Amino acid sequence: MIQDTNDNASNDQQLNPATHPSNSLDWLSRLIAFDTVSRHSNLALIHDVRAYCEQLGLTVDLSFNEAKTKANLFVTVPAGENADQINNGLVLSGHTDVVPVDGQDWTSEPFTATIRGDKLYGRGACDMKGFIACALTILPQAVQLSNSGQLRRPLHLALSFDEEVGCLGAPLILADLKARGITPDYCIVGEPTNMAMVVAHKGIAVYRCRVHGKSAHSSLIGQGVNAISYASKLVGYVDTLAEELSTRDDNDALFTVPYSTLSVGTIHGGTATNIVPNLCEFTFDYRNLPHMTQDDILAPIQAKVAELNAQMQARAPETGIELMQEESVPAMTDNNSAELQSLIAALTGDDERHKVAYATEGGQFTNAGIPTIICGPGSIEQAHKADEYVELIEIERCDGFLQKLLDSCTAK
């Protein structure tokens, strides 16, 4: 439903969440109105979608975080009676959480969908409630095809929580599917790709390094162990490894950055210039190509930590270095998705394959043995920014894509 605000000098159009969404723009306006920033609960959105699915006669499964404040949703439109029931179907996957708007200079309310020109603005418009809106819009048609026996392949919708803070929700969905004996044939993750086909992405691992030194007056440095100095030795070693990664002969030119990367992100330490610091912490992330593993960098870093620990503890036994992993999201590989890629290329008329440096839940699906690609409306360049938007034509293109995808599920 579009409300025309003629008294607004900018001629913005604010989309009000419809009582009964009938198209993707109505659904997108409804979804944006739920403040599902990762630090908040997503249950209001999940319960709203569950009620809609149940009105369509579908059975909804929820899986919760430990505190029961957030939930994943998984729902299946079953294949018709004449379909091969061994076929475990196609998953449309999206995350319901969005990043914060704190400190960002928005020109419209971030949790009110607003159209200006050919764009729809709102937090999550492209990342990634636009895809979810299109998927929800096509569900009634999928149900009709199922009821008439024409749907040859089950269609699943998977909505997760906490993707933005480490892809924490999707593993619960996958564990539940495994327990139920459901192994989907394919998965499409609707992250924003301008509706291009992304066949692989890098993994990410985030580490925190805590260096415990020994304080002393800076005039008596021999009595102390300088935590910042030893942290700097390890930071230097991380930078050396990063340089080595960039010159390997097994890099992949299809990635914008064709090699695995290491990058120090934060560092904190020290109390005053006249005190030998007893604590320094820094973080770094590793973004690995799909054919590489965390052990490729973790093993040499652990060896370096052991070397530095020996040096420090020779001077003061209570000192040392802790290395802790804070986040881990697997890379998405294209090793087993050739059939899915061919299907998507045929539906879109675009045979070009892309690989990206950012991580998604796609790697968790491929790790579970489910061939996966990423394809969704909007540009990743608009994600996480003030005035996040999705072009209206992108929503139209996604609607058309999902219609063709549904048609392919009815083909004999």
**H helix or E strand, kind and range, residue 363:** helix 362-367
Q: Is there a contact between 190 and 135 (Cβ–Cβ < 8 Å)? A: yes
252 catalytic, yes or no? Answer: no
In the set 26, 97, 334, 388, the catalytic residue is: 97
Distance between CA atoms of residues 372 and 395, nearest Å: 21
322 catalytic, yes or no? Answer: no
What pLDDT sits at residue 88? 87
> In order of start, what are the domains of the chain with their CATH numbers?
2-201+332-408 (3.40.630.10), 203-329 (3.30.70.360)
Across the chain, which distance is largest between two alpha carbons, in Å?
85
In the set 163, 361, 387, 399, the catalytic residue is: 163
What pLDDT sits at residue 411? 64
Q: Spell out the residues 6+ positions from residue 39 whose beta carbon is closer than 8 angstroms to its own.
A: 100
What pLDDT sits at residue 410? 87
What pLDDT sits at residue 217? 96
What pLDDT sits at residue 319? 98
What pLDDT sits at residue 7? 37
Paired with 201 in beta bridges are 332, 356
- Using CA atoms, how far residue 80 sits from 59, 134, 175, 264, in Å, is 15, 22, 26, 53
Distance between CA atoms of residues 399 and 25, nearest Å: 10
Distance between CA atoms of residues 276 and 260, nearest Å: 36
What pLDDT sits at residue 14? 54
Residue 335: how many other CB atoms lie within 10 Å: 12
The owner of tokens 């942290």 is: 231
For residue 163 the two structure tokens come to 């993707």
The closest of 26, 43, 53 to 96, measured between CA atoms, is 43
Render each residue's pLDDT in the chain as its tens digit; 412 residues: 233 333 343 456 554 444 557 899 999 999 999 999 999 999 999 999 999 999 999 999 999 999 999 999 999 999 987 665 556 899 999 999 999 999 999 999 999 999 999 999 999 999 999 999 999 999 999 999 999 999 999 999 999 999 999 999 999 999 999 999 999 999 999 999 999 999 999 999 999 999 999 999 999 999 999 999 999 999 999 999 999 999 999 999 999 899 999 999 999 999 999 999 999 999 999 999 999 999 999 999 999 999 999 999 999 999 999 999 999 999 999 999 999 999 999 998 899 999 999 999 999 999 999 999 999 999 999 999 999 999 999 999 999 999 999 999 986 5
